[in-house]
Every structure is written in structure tokens, then in C-alpha cells.
Amino acid sequence: MRASINLRLVRACVALTGLLFVTVLGSAAQARAPEGDFADLAEKLLPAVVNVSTTQTLVNRGLPDNMPQFPPGSPFEEFFKDFFERQQRGQGGRPPRQVASLGSGFIVDARGYIVTNNHVIADADEVHVILHDNTELPAKIVGRDPEVDIAVLKVETKEPLTAIQWGDSDKLRVGEWTLAIGNPFGLGGTVTAGIISARGRDINAGRYDDFIQTDAAINKGNSGGPLFNRNGEVIGINTAIFSQSGGSIGIGFAVPANLARPVVKQLIEFGRTKRGWLGVQIQSVTDEMVEALGLDKARGALVAKVVPGGPAEKAGIESGDVIVALDGKPIATTNALTRSVAETPVGKTVNVDVLRKGKKRTVKATLGELEAALASAKAEENAGKANGPRSRPGRNETDLADLGLRIAPLTKELRQKYDIKDDVKGVVVTDVDPDGAAAQRDVRAGDVIIEVAQSEVRNAEDVVEMIKALKDAKRKVALLQIQRSGEPRFVPVPFKS
């Protein structure tokens, strides 16, 4: 009934306002982007887009990965092993074979610097670039960044190449027209058009996920190619598609230009990335944590650990702080903070807005270099590895039935059993009720409780008193900070009802 009424109303409106209807149709037609605009734009941009071809040498080594698996000592195991070895000998030591693959790229500097995806040239022995005029040139890899899946190549030419201009991906709006140019299925330079379908997509590709989603047709071989706006500026690097068939179904993803551009600049200048580093381990703020943290809603990035000697510690940031803004830019999620810090130049001093027990404060932090910090941490880890003897612990346990776990003091025996370092303070979880609230929050035996409700824990009596205070205050959740394998995190555990 509603559909027929609406249809009659539309017909009446059309009949009464025919001129207006024609005007509206004219406006809609203009929104489709005249063919001449795309033709002129494509003609201008095609010379800056290249095909990237790679070759990789595969050596036939050992037994195949798909050899059937049998229990050790089984006669079938020896039979199949002998069979495959005879087969390989019969092939006369099959020589190494070369595998070719194709992708796309675009020129960002007239001197011959070209951007593509890291996965396009990963493990390649040789890389060649084919220009729009079919000139083929050998390329060397200047630098790669697997984190954002970007690589920079360099070709040598006598004449300057046609380079593109970067656009501002932060200004993109859903529904804007886009143009994708690349080399799908090795066909050569191909142009497709579409719109921005969404922004800020997280497809679990890495910690810096912030993809642009587009319905412009992107297929195999488009990887590394540019995504343009209507001004002919690169606003993304086509990197991935969602497809069950391998072909385009209108769901493609591109690395935003504002994320890629500083990475490209660093790869050209240093041959590697130099990302900003704050020196904190963070986790998401959940709805269950809001009350305990004194927040109005779930937002920001919760600091689970402050790296000793790092920028955050020097700035006065503490474990339990919630970072809500960096350098004036609001931080809504942990991914947002990770990206913002990484994009900030090393050595820059920024304002960090934090909420500490519900109260806002601003501190200044001078960012360090992530890569240097990771290398230092790895060296310390390798230097400190040691396996001591294990002995059976004695127990002096306290039952926390409201949370569904038992705790005990950190004795020497328990430290040895659970590999807990001497400088870790708190109480250790010795048993977890599999049907209790703590188990549902993935609390495990061997976890060390170092804080309850953002207050330091020294012994089991502290924990008992803190839990009693929370229950007396009608709190429904106890916010625990635990440490597991040297890594702290906050866990909201609801009280048993």
C-alpha cells in the first residue's frame, strides 16, 4: 500500500513540476562526470604510470611441502620419501626456474623515482619498469617498507620523466570520483573510474591500517598503481582487493597518500623509514573500562606500559593514562595514535593530551625513532636470555571468588615457575576458575597483577582491600593491570553477580 501511494505522489509531482524535474535530471547528469573530463585526465596521467615486472629464481630443494605425513617410523613414511627422492634424481637435478610477476607503479620524481607496493617486488631477483611509451628499463630497489606495503624503485634515463603530484587524502569525501590506472592481468596501462566508497578501513593488514575503499575496478596487476582524484593528484596507492573469485567486485583498498608520502620521502632520502616513537604500549578502551577510568565514553588509547627512558616517561606520561589527543589531533582509537605517532617527524616536540583518573592534562613529548628503539630492545632481549632451573613452588594462596581466581605472593619459586623477573612487583595468579569472569577475560595462571583500579599492588591483602572498596562503592567491574611475559595490559573483570 505504501509503495503505491508513494508512486502516485511521485507521478503527481512530476506532472505538476515538469520543468523542475528536468532541471534535477540535468544536475544528476552533471554529477556523472562528462566523458571528456576523464579522457583529458587519463591522457595527462597515463605517462606517469608504469608497469613493474619482476623475476624470481626458484631452486628445487629437498622434499615437496605436500608430501603425505605419517607417524615417525611408519613404513609409509620411508616409502614416500624414497619415491620423491627417486623422482627428483630422475629429473636429473632439475635446474632452477624463473617465475615472473607483474604489477604497477607511478613516477613521483622526474629523476626516475617510482613508487609501487612492497609485495610486488618482494623476493625479486630482477626488477624492470615499462614506461607508457613501451620503453623498458632495469630498476633498482631504493627502499622498502613492509609495514605500509610500499617500495621505491629508481631507473636511469637521459630525459626527465613525467611525474605526478600528491594530493591531500585527509580531504577526501565519500562519494568523490576517483580514477585508477594500472596493469591488470598484464594487459598494459588500463584506466577505470569509480567513487570513494569509504575511508579509514582496517582490513587487518598491519598496525597502520587506514585504507581508502573504492569501487573503481582493481584487479590482479593493479597493485602499486595510483588512485587519482578529479584534479589528477594521487590520493592513494592501490594495494588490495576483497574478492572470492580473484577479480574485481567493486571492493578495492588503497593506502592513503598522506600515510604513504612521508614513507616514500624517507625511503628516497635514507633508504629506510624513520618513524616517530612515543615509548608506550597501548590498548583499546572498552565500554567496561569507561567507569573505572573516569571517562564519559570509550575513546582514546589506554597506556598499559611506559618504556623506561623513553619519550613518554620523560614527558611524565604514566601507565593508566588515556591519550586523547596528539599535537592537537584527536585520538579516538589505538590505531589512530599508532598512525599519528608514526607520521610525526623524529625529534619533533608535540603536545600530548591525557586523561588521568578522569582529569585532563597536557604534557610535551619529544618523539624518538621507532626503528632505533626496536633494534635496542631486540639487542637487550638477546643479551638477557637465560633459562634457569625450575623447581616445584610452595603456595600461600588467597581465593578471590568474586573474580574467579586465586593469587599468591611472588616467591622465588613462583618467579622461577612462571619466568617472572625479579624487578616485577605485585601478586601472581596461581589458579583461574574456568567458568569464572577472569577466565572469560583471558586471565591466566602466571599473570602478575600489578594494579587494581589504577592503584599499585604490593601484596594479596592490598588486592582484597581494593576489591572490597570497589564493591562498597557499587562498582561492577575491577580494572586489573596484569603483566604477562613482561608485557602489561589492562583487563576489566566483572564481579560475580
Catalytic residue among 128, 145, 149, 319: 149
Task: Look at strands 233-241 and 165-166 and give their pairing.
Answer: parallel
End-to-end CA distance of the chain: 50
Q: What distance in Å separates the CA atoms of residue 90 and residue 70, rounded to the nearest whole number?
A: 24
Q: Is 376 a catalytic residue?
A: no
Per DSSP, the residues of 428-478 read: EEEEE-TTSHHHHTT--TT-EEEEETTEE--SHHHHHHHHHHHHHTT-SEE
- For residue 284, the surrounding DSSP H or E stretch is strand 280-284
Q: Where do the DSSP E strands lie in 317-395?
A: 322-326, 329-330, 349-356, 359-366, 368-369
Q: Looking up cell 615457575, which residue turns up? A: 417
> Could you tell me which residues are beta bridge partners of residue 183?
none
Which residues sit opposite 492 in a β-bridge?
479
| Residues 6 or more apart in contact with residue 291 via CB below 8 angstroms | 475, 476, 477
In whole angstroms, what is the distance from residue 10 CA to residue 63 CA?
A: 71
Helix axes 18-31, 2-16, angle to 10 degrees: 100
Write b or e for each residue in 204-240: b if 16 or more Cβ atoms lie within 10 A of its Cβ, otherwise e.
ebeebbbbbbbbbbbbbbbbbbbbbbeebbbbbbbbb
Residue type, 37: D
Active site residue 119: yes
Q: What is the dihedral of CA 21, 24, 25, 27, to 10 degrees?
A: 160
DSSP notation for 70-97? --TT-HHHHHHHHHHHHHHHHTTS---E
Q: Which helix (H) or strand (E) holds 56?
A: strand 49-58
The label of the residue with cell 575491577 reads 478
Cα of 276 vs its chain's centroid, Å: 16
Active-site residue among 104, 119, 169, 447?
119
**Residue of 104, 169, 223, 319 marked catalytic:** 223
Closest among 168, 196, 192, 189 to 179, alpha carbons compared:
192
Which of the residues are catalytic?
A: 119, 149, 223
